[in-house]
Chains A and B, each alone.
Chain A
Amino acid sequence: MQWPPPWRRSPLVSATPPPGPTTGLLRPRRVSEAGDSSTEGARTGHSHYVTPAESAMERRSQPFPSLRPASPTNAPAHGRGSDCTAKEPPLANVCRQNYGAAQDPVEPAGRRSASHVTGSSLGKAEVACGRRWRWAELVANSSWSPAGRATEMKVKMLSRNPDNYVRETKLDLQRVPRNYDPALHPFEVPREYVRALNATKLERVFAKPFLASLDGHRDGVNCLAKHPENLATVLSGACDGEVRIWNLTQRNCIRTIQAHEGFVRGICTRFCGTSFFTVGDDKTVKQWKMDGPGYGDEEEPLHTILGKTVYTGIDHHWKEAVFATCGQQVDIWDEQRTNPICSMTWGFDSISSVKFNPIETFLLGSCASDRNIVLYDMRQATPLKKVILDMRTNTICWNPMEAFIFTAANEDYNLYTFDMRALDTPVMVHMDHVSAVLDVDYSPTGKEFVSASFDKSIRIFPVDKSRSREVYHTKRMQHVICVKWTSDSKYIMCGSDEMNIRLWKANASEKLGVLTSREKAAKDYNQKLKEKFQHYPHIKRIARHRHLPKSIYSQIQEQRIMKEARRRKEVNRIKHSKPGSVPIVSEKKKHVVAVVK
């Protein structure tokens, strides 16, 4: 027994002929070599195999090669078995030869001289052969080391498939074999419960929604508008007639325009984002370019339309060069004309807001001071239906994913989500505000909306829930007049009385920036856990806990008491009157006064 075993030795140093199993693999080589040598043998009279040592020898003593090649390097092989040494060429040496033939310009010369091979074509063939031999050797080495030696020495070892534990790249995670036997992982529910509890707590810990405050306005911010093409650009109009354009990434004001005298009542961008429109208390509609004027030029609107009455709101069509204003009536304007192409009116009160439906773009909704919400069809230039609520609706917002759903922000502290085909009952009444709701905007996903209220807070409601999932407020934020949800659904902007625009995260505890896949997986898992265990009392309590300003808190308490009193009274009335004489009206129906066809 020799050490190191032949398969551990470097092919450069040792030249052991491979035992049994590899001979089959190497046979073709022998044949080809024999073919080579036979051609030469015709000249020299005998055929044999050449080793480097031999060739070196032959370089010294040309032209006759020795009959019996006795290389010192393959001596052990000689000693062990004569059968292979006599016929089999030492594998490694041949390989080396061929390497040499491929790389070294000197070696092939010697070799050629030794084997009497001439001609470039043959040389090429040998190169190709050399490639093949290397492959063969690899195969041989790998194949015969465990199996071929088994007859002589038994080596017992664990055999593992490297695919199971080797990483493809350094950046990959180490693979951990896992046993999913449930017996090995007991207490699933308690463990997940604890995880959910921790996730909920962490969510609360990391809930820091406030991002930035954009200050610069010199009066309360009355209206906000998103840029349709650029996420970073936001436009705002203030109560002093000033319009500012903000860059959210830099959190500064790009441009300031003194657009109107008096309030800027409404602002909207064109669908392509090249210009925007403002309406003000000065009875004008102005169209502005989104890009500022060149150096030295004065800020001037592209167009100015002088109307007869005050316009209280404006909205642009989602596809065409048409916009709508509201005031005493709803006017629909062609951008190119100074007269409205049609005006629709139903009733005689001032209309506070008008909104185009983003999906079925010929639909409009408006709300007027006489407590009603009116829907219009622009194509047929007629109003469609009117619903009268308990109190005035300040504004409405259409769901961008569901064509027939809109939400109305009402003075009675509630928001009402309507299906426009069935206006007699709202789909959902959203209540949590403790003062008039002034503005509402949908998330672009259509799953949630944000509302701004006179109670100095904004709230986020899921569309299908009547209670808010989130309330944002700061000490300094006064009555929030306008609110917008950004087009990537990640942020919320609100403009308030105290001249600031605030930027919030839509998801309070969300981590900003790029997440690694592990972080993402953890986030998803935690989210699912929270959802799964959301009904458990402790988790629910933690998840619902919010700090509120004292004013809001006490208002909530007060209103709870009032509501309870009203409920009690109603119950008592039902109880003490003839059964059936006092109808039980559901909360949804209570607030709808009438639907006018």
Chain B
Amino acid sequence: MTANRLAESLLALSQQEELADLPKDYLLSESEDEGDNDGERKHQKLLEAISSLDGKNRRKLAERSEASLKVSEFNVSSEGSGEKLVLADLLEPVKTSSSLATVKKQLSRVKSKKTVELPLNKEEIERIHREVAFNKTAQVLSKWDPVVLKNRQAEQLVFPLEKEEPAIAPIEHVLSGWKARTPLEQEIFNLLHKNKQPVTDPLLTPVEKASLRAMSLEEAKMRRAELQRARALQSYYEAKARREKKIKSKKYHKVVKKGKAKKALKEFEQLRKVNPAAALEELEKIEKARMMERMSLKHQNSGKWAKSKAIMAKYDLEARQAMQEQLSKNKELTQKLQVASESEEEEGGTEVEELLVPHVVNEVQMNVDGPNPWMFRSCTSDTKEAATQEDPEQLPELEAHGVSESEGEERPMAEEEILLREFEERRSLRKRSELSQDAEPAGSQETIDSGSQEVLSELRVLSQKLKENHQSRKQKASSEGTIPQVQREEPAPEEEEPLLLQRPERVQTLEELEELGKEECFQNKELPRPVLEEQQSERTPNNRPDAPKEKKKKEQMIDLQNLLTTQSPSVKSLAVPTIEELEDEEERNHRQMIKEAFAGDDVIRDFLKEKREAVEASKPKDVDLTLPGWGEWGGVGLKPSAKKRRRFLIKAPEGPPRKDKNLPNVIISEKRNIHAAAHQVQVLPYPFTHHRQFERTIQTPIGSTWNTQRAFQKLTTPKVVTKPGHIIKPIKAEDVGYQSSSRSDLPVIQRNPKRITTRHNKEEKL
């Protein structure tokens, strides 16, 4: 019986993992039934024997294949035994007979089986049972863990748990069933429909939807601000443009135009640096424009305007100038061909060529040196230098075709041009001086010496020019730059001519120049003017001490330089013994650190101080009850009289002696109030982990005196709410969202009535 039960329950538990724990031969305990089975088999055999007595029944017997399964102890079936067994079959080797193969297999299996182990005793089996069942039950119960935990931690539990769902129809349904009856209602509905107000579906109107889809408020605000700014800027620009357009001064417009041109060039330069291909294109464009201009045969003094100007030129200076300007423009336009031819004529020509060849090519050459921009700069300056060196040689040639017209040409290069030139020159000067300084240690004096004379003379010229420039600037400052002053500069057009040729290159370093200009100005302010002049003129000579002419000045210069750079030697002197210095510093640092670490380490004194403070603090304070102005004059600056103060000062009684009075090394705090202590919580209550937490909960008021109504309600919600008169049923699986088991709780046996009867029979037997 138990075995059957066991089998049943095991079937039921087949999905359980716990089965794995069972002993392996557990299944074999089926053989418990063997005793019964044995008897049955004997009975069967007997029956067979009896039936076999009768010849007719034999065939029938052979058909009974099903029962034989039951009969065989070792599960040997009589499969294939339907055929008649002939003696010859048995005599022959077994292999050949296919029908007996299965039997043989089974026989071999039987042979391989060992003896059956003893079945477990009943108690043990039951124990195993119980364990399995318990584990299963525990697993079933574990599904309640989260529910229980949630309920235990819940802020509020409202019983009964199952809520009667109030049948609330959605508003759409209510509305769809409702119709406008009165005229007023109809009117309202008409209005609503007209405005596309959703009536049945409480959603958004199309407009609202669109607005929601469009953007958020902040985005809209930002965008609005942006637009406003853009509009304002546009209006400013427009106003500015209008203003500028109104300006009638031709000069102004000229300057502007030039500025624009420069800017364009600058941009082009930048583009060249950044994107050579685009720059090339740009260049081509420029070239094309130039060609177009040239083709158009403008600036030939053949137009109507030019003719009229030509007539006026005799008497009017300005007209003449204008004509000349146009001519110069024409020349500029037509220059290219000439220059090209010139370069071919020239001996070395490389430098000049460099100037004329598109800069892209130049750049490539320069980039050979390396990508370093500084290197690049120096290269360009070098070339410039070379150019300046060559200048004197070029001069006569240029004069041959240029100077004749140059008088007119120079004028448009107004003040700014002059300034630019000035910067350029200065820069070149400085560069050269530096170079020469650099060159000095290398011992390349001779190379410089070879061309020194030339350079010298040139430099002299340059310095002279500079002087002039400065003077002119001074004048400019005194009285606004006028044409006559500019004209005064004309004596040195020869020097300026080559610089003109360099134009693109110069513009390339415009930014630099600006910076330089600033620097120079700074210097100018610092140094007295004569010194500046001298310095500039002498920087180069001071490289060559053997130059006799400059010696005096050089000495002077050194003095001056000393004056200027007094700091530098001192710095060097500091820099030389750096290592020792560092060691010293380290030591000092170490000492400092230690000092800092133990800075406040005067423990004893600190403690004494602390104690003194504690004593002071614990002393009862005097009470001053004087009322200024009471019974006497009062006011700002008037103090109550000493007598009065004495009278109204209540002296605090001397407290009991401190407990630590005679203990110099101890501070005993006497703050604790015994009377208050009786009302205070002595031990930190359970759920709190820190006294701060507890204090904070106590300090937070929950009453409606300190809280808003809503907060008060929230703070005072009871933990468990029950409704009077409502029956609270035990929690159900459905209440918490679990599926209640559809399975009946009835015992397994109950579902198998046959078993029950046997069971009860057995019980009754008991």
Contacts and interface: CB of A to CB of B under 8 A. Distances in A.
Contact of A488 (B130, B728, B730): B728
Interface string B691-709: 0000001110111111110
Interface string A173-195: 00000001010010011011001
A381 B745 contact: no
B722 A537 contact: no
A421 interface: yes
A192 B127 CA distance: 60
Interface string A410-436: 000000000011000000000000000
Contacts of A2: none
A489 B728 contact: yes
Interface stretch (B134-142, B413-421, B590-598, B635-643): B134-142
Given A528-B715, A532-B697, A381 B702 contact: no
Nearest to B717: A524
B760 A384 contact: no
A73 B531 CA distance: 106
Nearest to A447: B720
Contact of B130 (A332, A383, A401): A383
B157 A342 contact: no
Contact of A378 (B679, B706, B747): B747
B442 interface: no
Given A401-B151, A528-B716, A535-B681, A342 B745 contact: no
B123 to A, nearest CB: 11
Interface string A335-378: 00001011100000000000000111111000000000001011
Contact of B9 (A185, A378, A380, A420): A380
Interface stretch (A44-52, A206-214, A287-295, A312-320): A312-320
Contacts of A319: 745
A135 interface: no
Contacts of A41: none
Contacts of A532: 697-698, 702
Name the interface size band of chain B: 35 or more
A527 B717 CA distance: 9
Contact of A524 (B137, B716, B748): B716
Contact of A445 (B712, B715, B720): B720
B716 A444 contact: no
Chain A interface size, under 10 / 10 to 19 / 20 to 34 / 35 or more: 35 or more
A38 interface: no
B134 A401 contact: no
Nearest to B131: A597
A597 B123 CA distance: 11
A544 to B, nearest CB: 14
A57 B625 CA distance: 88
Contacts of B685: 535
A343 B764 CA distance: 13
Nearest to A362: B745
A575 B716 CA distance: 50
B607 interface: no
Interface string A141-183: 0000000000000000000000000000000000000001010
Contact of B726 (A318, A341, A403, A488): A488
B361 interface: no
A400 B705 contact: no
Contacts of B138: 420-421
B749 interface: yes
Contact of B134 (A332, A360, A384): A384
Contact of B140 (A228, A360, A447, A528): A360
Contacts of B745: 317, 319-320, 322, 361-362, 378-379
B376 interface: no
Interface in A299-335: 317-320, 322, 332, 334
B144 A191 contact: no
Contacts of A137: none
A521 interface: yes
Given A231-B725, A489-B159, A537-B679, A191 B705 contact: yes
Given A180-B708, A488-B725, A378 B703 contact: no
Nearest to A343: B763
Given A378-B746, A401-B151, A384 B715 contact: no
B217 interface: no
A32 interface: no
A361 B744 CA distance: 10
Contact of A363 (B137, B707, B715, B749): B137
Interface string B723-766: 11111111111000000000111111110000010011001000
Nearest to A319: B745
Contact of A381 (B136, B682, B748, B760): B748
B129 A525 contact: no
Contacts of B680: 536-537
Contact of B133 (A382, A444, A528): A382
A385 B134 contact: yes
Contacts of B141: 360, 403-404, 420-421
A341 B755 CA distance: 11
A385 B131 CA distance: 8
A400 B724 CA distance: 18
B12 interface: yes
A490 B727 CA distance: 10
A444 B747 contact: no
A339 B679 CA distance: 67
Contacts of A383: 130
Given A360-B140, A380-B9, A192 B702 contact: yes
Interface in B1-50: 9, 12
A199 to B, nearest CB: 11
A95 B723 CA distance: 56
B461 interface: no
A380 B748 contact: yes
B682 A537 contact: yes
Given A180-B707, A404-B141, A538-B679, A528 B151 contact: no
B679 A358 contact: no
A597 B134 contact: yes
A487 interface: yes
Contacts of A537: 678-682
A402 interface: yes
B608 interface: no
18 contacts: A188-B699, A188-B706, A189-B698, A228-B727, A319-B745, A359-B733, A377-B136, A379-B747, A380-B133, A380-B748, A382-B130, A384-B130, A421-B142, A445-B159, A445-B722, A489-B722, A524-B716, A597-B130
Among all A-B residue pairs, the 7 with the closest Cβ atoms: A444-B728, A358-B730, A400-B730, A188-B701, A362-B745, A381-B747, A524-B716
Given A362-B745, A521-B716, 14 more contacts: A180-B708, A188-B705, A341-B747, A342-B750, A380-B747, A380-B748, A385-B134, A402-B151, A403-B144, A420-B138, A421-B141, A490-B722, A525-B703, A537-B682
Interface of A: 180, 182, 185, 188-189, 191-192, 195, 228-229, 231, 317-320, 322, 332, 334, 339, 341-343, 358-363, 375, 377-385, 400-405, 420-421, 444-447, 487-490, 521, 524-525, 527-529, 532-533, 535-538, 597
